[in-house]
Amino acid sequence: MIQTRSGEKAVIAALPFASPGAWVSALDLVGEEASARSKYARMFELAVQDLCAPFRKDAVNLLMAHTHIEGAVFGESERRVHIAEDWAASPKALPAKASYIALGHIHRPQRIDGPAPAYYAGSLLQMDFGEAGEEKTFIVVTASPGKRATVEHILYEGGRPLVDVRASLAELEETADRHRAGWLRVTVPLTERDPDLNRKVRELLPNALVVRAELPETEEKPDIRLDTGVPPVGHYAAYHLREHSQAAELAVLDRFQDLYDQVSGED
């Protein structure tokens, strides 16, 4: 418990992130899958009950939990390997006696339906281009003992935005001044490969973090199978034919062989 300068008291319960392996054993996973997930949710509920037991009527009661709550909406950039839908706690496990519940783990800011005010504040910055265009906010919480907290979302203005731009090189030359703000992911439609594309785009837009070429759809690449014992130059020739739909020039193959011989000689 902490006490403010005005004399109000706050009881804060903090629950760090618990991976499935922290609460579910290998034997549980070998058994019925639904039962293992149910055990994970139950363990979260028990942890919350234990941590929130000291909540008091004359204090502001706060729960801070780094977790995935069932029903939360993922951001576009969320990595499903770390926050799968199935490994989630129930919102019913959240404490009704809490004045406010601060949730972390999911990038998209949102309210969670439950017995007390519960919010994911979300990430302060756009974490990658999957969140380009999303407005980020932080939350100001007003709370007092015995009352449900009120929440105000404040637009965060401290970071450079991530912006998706799709335009031809000619269009980028004409509109470069419009794209000076923020960090860019630039997609350039092309009719054929341009190995110098990155340099051309970054000369126009130094703030381009990612440059992508958008090429027309091509026919499926041939499936070339080589017999065992084929020398490295033969593998390179097959690679070139598969990737470029034409045979490599003899001079290129000779140069590949020369380089390979040099490297092999050093070994």
How confident is the model at residue 226, as a pLDDT? Answer: 62
pLDDT in tens, 51-94: 999 999 999 999 999 988 888 877 655 544 444 456 788 899 99
- Determine, yes or no, domain membership for 58: yes
Distances (CA, A) of 192 to 80, 210, 216: 34, 19, 8
Report the percentage of the chain scoring pLDDT > 70. Answer: 87
CATH number, domain containing residue 118: 3.60.21.10
Last residue of one domain, picked from the residues 128, 155, 182 = 155
**pLDDT over 50 (residue 267):** no
For residues 209 and 116, state if they share a domain. no
For residues 123 and 187, state if they share a domain. no
How confident is the model at residue 83, as a pLDDT? Answer: 46
**DSSP H or E stretch at residue 104:** strand 100-104
How many degrees, rounded to 5, is the angle at CA 210 between CA 207 and CA 215? 130
For residues 143 and 168, state if they share a domain. no
- Determine, yes or no, domain membership for 227: no
Cβ neighbours for 81, distance < 8 A, ≥ 6 positions apart:
none
How confident is the model at residue 239, as a pLDDT? Answer: 84
pLDDT in tens, 152-179: 988 887 778 888 999 999 999 999 999 9
Range of the domain at 176: 162-214
Tally of domains within the chain: 3
For residues 126 and 32, state if they share a domain. yes
Structure tokens at 19: 């991976």
